[in-house]
Amino acid sequence: MLCRSADSIFWMARYVERIENISRFLSITLQTTLDSESDDAEFWQPLVALAGDTRQFRSRFGRATEANVIEYLTFDNENSNSISELLRQARENARSLRETLSSEMWEQLNVVYLQVQETSLADILAAPEQFFSQLRLSSLAFNGIVAGTLSHGLGYHFARLGSMLERADQTLRLLDVRHRLLLPSIKNVETPIDDVQWAAVLGAASAYEMYRQRHHQITPDRVVDFLLFDPEFPRSARFCVSNALDAVKSISRLAKQDTVALPAFRRLSKAQSQMVTDGIDDLMLIGVSEYISSLETGLRSVTDDVFSAFMQQRAA
Amino acid sequence: MPTPDAYCLARDGKPDCVVVDLSDDESIDFLDEITNQPEQPSSVIVVADEDGAAALAEEHGATKSLVKSDDVLDQVLGCVDEELDDSSGAANSGDRVSVRFRPQRALTFDNYDPGNFYDELFIDQGVPKPEARPLIEMIESLPHGELQQRQSTIESMLYRMGVTFNVYGNDDGSKRIWPFDIVPRIIARREWLRIEAGLKQRIQALNMFIHDVYHEGEILEDNVVPAELVLQADSYREQCCGINPPRGLWCHITGTDLVRDLDGEIYVLEDNLRCPSGVSCVLKNRELMKRSFPQLFNASQVRPVTDYPSRLLSTLEHLSEHESPTVVVLTPGEMNSAYYEHAFLAQQMGVQLVEGRDLIVKDGFVYMQNVAGLSRVDVIYRRIDDDFLDPTAFRKGSMLGVPGLLNVFREGRVALANAPGTGIADDKVLYAYVPAMIQYYMDEKPILPNVETFVCYDEEQRRDVLENLDSLVVKAANESGGYGMLIGPHSTRKEQQEFAAQIRENPRNYIAQPTLSLSRVPTIVDDHFEGRHVDLRPFILNGEEIYVLPGGLTRVALKKGSLVVNSSQGGGSKDTWVLNS
């Protein structure tokens, strides 16, 4: 596999994962606002912090409303993380490695891209929930198509690595932003007072049902514990890190590299073993924010490590 | 939008409420017929374009009018319900009422007029060529709307699959599908055998010419081709002198443009020996046609084209001494108009698609930069022009190519297809000398004739050209894609003057040909067939043996009367069927 292709497929997978997350955040926020009578901005502003750039948003749109946040996160081409921009980049990456992908992968991305292109803001505002759920499912379907049609060789593992790093990052960001807002309640453990809010956090991570199966009652500390440390839930930080580690091992084996010497391997191994032993009590000791941001920084360095080990081309 | 050209029957079977779409004269006659009947339906609804609906309704004695819009069918059905409720006793609530579309005939060729042109499917009005008869019968047997339906299914599949080309000069970088017409062009077996033989002969002579030009130059010595024309050609590459490409082959992949004139003769219009594109379109069109008309492919024994990628791969592998050489396709990148084709061919052959920046020259070999380190490349199917191939040998500063590539090629450590320098043989001026080359190198008469060509480099011929600009087609030697061309009969006085000035200034760069009356193929235009001009680009692979892909790309000028078939200028494509018997 070409260095350039590895880079393209890694980022293609990251962009698709990001689209899925942003669509889900929007979906959940739409549902939550229906259950509440309070001010719009209270719900929509945090979403900008989560999925975009607050300063950029303020200077362009001012006060957050349903319509302008949807516009900003879906269509704004000055926002490099808007859904349409991410789709464009994902599709461009896919196009540049078209001969490497299965035709089903390309077709799925192309069709979703064309659908979003042909949709207007007014169309979305008329039935936003429907639009974003559809988009979420399309992104999830893409992952299924990748797993079911692409040979599980280098390309597949780079895609998986990209998805997992992105997903971990999204879960961590979600926890970080939400926990700061809901901070007071985390100390009143075992009291289901903020049920709606914490249920929304779970929903935003697609975790509501799986959480209920495991812990039944919603309590803040268990929610944080679940999203960070659950070994089986596919969006928990721990799950993502250990899958990313698997992907790095496979890549290293297929590229005939010395795995133990790879910085990406060492960093991910360390994070993983730490998360296996850590529990919610350690977290309280260090502070949730600090814990999360050190993880986030670590994962960002993994991306750099992977780039310099496998994707960087020499100057001609 | 569905045609609400329907009438509604009440229970007793008599029309009670009639709906007429007034988009054509036939419908107006139909309306008059109904409203003049002794037993009139209780209501007549007309549907028409905005600016005429109400007036037309009144004029023709209709009871209600609707403006054509996206939801007009729903509106019509609503009105029908309403009318039926009102009309006492005609239909009680709960009665089933059927809405039937007014029966329309399928698309037929009854009114298709081949006109004063050679038609590829018809001998005369109503008389299909024998080889086209099964197709014509099948099309006429389809229910109303079916053919258009299948065509739009194919177009939407092309769109979904992203079979698009980039349009240069469009700022939004828009990608379009190449318009496709579902009526194929058919070539009988006998005729194809002659074309095939002619193309094989031609590519052999061209290959010998290229080799000669870059070695002894005997043909120039003998003054069969003026040396000056060769040495001054833009596509002449002195860097290639003395090079011996693997197996003595320079040109491995060719797409030769053929046209048929009024006299029924097939002429070679031009040879494309650089990076001819369009073969992916042939393969895709065929794939989609097979899905649309499976019965027909069984019945008429169309020669298959699906093995092209395997044959291309064999042609490329033949260029290396290795048992299983590493072959790559080199593309300028996804901004290139033919990027889809580059990716498609790489995918079909199962080889890597690379850009210049993925390759590196090291220790006298070419390597790919892989995740697992460097790996050697043996054969490069390059879809980059000579100019951009190697900045150290050709155009300086080009970022698309691979520095040092030409040297590796010269030393025989990598094969390039086509070899650099082959462009000399598709210079539009040297084209005029190809029949002479065939005679010179092969001592044979050309099987396929050239179009009569005037070379402006020759003083006498130039004078004739300048006097007859209004009837000739003038071409610049180094332009392609339909650019740099004057079509005399369709040009303005001013354009002719501009070309005259350019010809006087740089006579070597121009040729002129009589305006051909390109043959036509029936093509769907709205709800009927009209003849549209076509050309044909067969693809020739020159490897261990010479292989001609049966058929090739039929390009069609979709604009009425237009002779320009290029994709960048409003052309489309058709499937091309070479019959087996």
pLDDT tens digits, one per residue of B277-296:
999 999 999 998 998 888 88
The dihedral built from the CA positions of residue B496, B499, B505 and B511, taken in this order, carries a sign that is negative
Interface check B360 vs A, CB under 8 A: yes
Q: Residue B521: beta bridge partners?
A: B532
Instruction: Using a CB–CB cutoff of 8 Å, tell me whether B347 touches chain A.
Output: yes
Phi then psi for B151, rounded to 5 degrees?
Answer: -60, -45
Domain B326-377+379-413 classification at class level: alpha beta
- Rounded Cα distance between A253 and A265, Å, is 12
Helix B308-317 to helix B339-349 angle (10° resolution) is: 80
**Total Cβ atoms within 10 A of residue B280:** 22
- In this complex, is the C-beta atom of B367 within 8 Å of any C-beta atom belonging to chain A? no
pLDDT at B14: 53
DSSP assignment of A241-266? HHHHHHHHHHHHHHTT--GGG-HHHH
Å from B561 to nearest chain A CA? 34
Indicate the average pLDDT of chain A. 89
Give which of B446, B432, B444 is closest to B511, Cα–Cα. B432
Domains B6-101 and B326-377+379-413 share a fold: yes
DSSP state, residue B141: H
DSSP characters over B267-336: EEEEEE-S----HHHHHHHHHHHHHH-HHHHHHHTBPP-TTHHHHHHHHHHTTSSSSS--EEEE-S-TTS
Domains of chain B by residue range? 6-101, 109-305+424-451+516-581, 326-377+379-413
| Domain residue limits, chain A | 1-150, 152-316
Q: How far is CA A254 from CA A206, A259, B70, B80, in A?
A: 33, 10, 56, 69
- Could you report the per-residue pLDDT of B26-75, keeping only the tens digit for each? 667 667 776 776 666 667 777 777 677 777 777 777 777 777 666 665 66
Strands B528-537 and B553-557, sheet pairing: antiparallel
Residue contact B360–A316, C-beta within 8 A = yes
CA dist., res. A136 & res. B543, Å (int): 50
Q: State the nearest Cα–Cα gap between A315 and chain B, in angstroms.
A: 8
B333/A95 Cβ within 8 A: no
Q: Are A98 and B343 within 8 A, CB to CB?
A: yes
The whole-angstrom distance between residue B357's C-alpha and the CA centroid of its chain comes to: 31
User: Which amino acid belongs to residue B62?
Assistant: A
Contact B371 A110 (CB under 8 A): no
Residues of A with CB under 8 A from a CB of B: 1-4, 6, 92, 95-100, 103, 106-107, 110-111, 114, 154, 251, 254-257, 310-311, 313-314, 316
Would you call B369 and A314 a contact, using CB atoms and an 8 Å cutoff? yes
The radius of gyration of chain B from alpha carbons, rounded to an integer in Å, stands at 29
Do you find a cis peptide bond into A77, omega within 30 degrees of 0?
A: no
Q: How many CB atoms lie within 10 A of CB B408?
A: 22
Q: How far apart are CA B74 and CA B63, in angstroms?
A: 18
**Residue B24: which residues within 8 A CB-CB, separation 6 or more?**
none
CATH topology of domain B6-101: Rossmann fold (3.40.50)
A31-40, A219-228, A290-299, B412-421: range with lowest mean pLDDT:
A31-40
Structure token digits, residue B445: 């008469």
Residue B487: its pLDDT value, please?
87
Which one, of A158, A143, A149, lies nearest residue A306 by Cα?
A158
Percentage with pLDDT > 90 across chain B: 55
Cα separation, B60 vs B510, whole angstroms:
61
Question: Which of the residue ranges B105-109, B481-485, B538-542 would you say has the lowest mean pLDDT?
Answer: B481-485
As a whole number, mean pLDDT of residues B213-218 equals: 96
**pLDDT interval class at B567 (50, 70, 90):** low
DSSP A234: T
Cα–Cα distance measured from residue A133 to residue A20, given in angstroms and rounded to the nearest whole number: 9
The amino acid that residue B454 corresponds to is: F
The two three-digit tokens of residue B349, written as one number: 């052959």
- Whether A254 sits inside 8 A of B368 (CB atoms) is no
The residue in chain B having the minimum alpha-carbon distance to the alpha carbon of residue A254 is B372
Least confident of A223-237, B34-48, B398-412, B429-443: B34-48
Q: For the purposes of burial, counting CB atoms within 10 Å of the CB of B17, is it exposed (0-12), middle (13-18) or buried (19 or more)?
A: buried
The pLDDT-based confidence of B374 (bands split at 50, 70, 90) is: very high
Q: How many angstroms separate the Cα of B110 from the Cα of each of A211, B120, B126, B341, B416? A: 70, 17, 6, 39, 52
> Which range in A172-176, B72-76, B252-256 is most confidently predicted, on average pLDDT?
B252-256
pLDDT surpasses 70 at B94: no
Q: What is the distance between the alpha carbons of residues A120 and A122, in angstroms, rounded to a whole number?
A: 5
- What's the CA gap between B103 and B457, in Å, rounded? 63
**What element of type H or E holds B362?**
strand B359-362
Which residues of chain B neighbour A256 with C-beta distances below 8 Å? 372-373
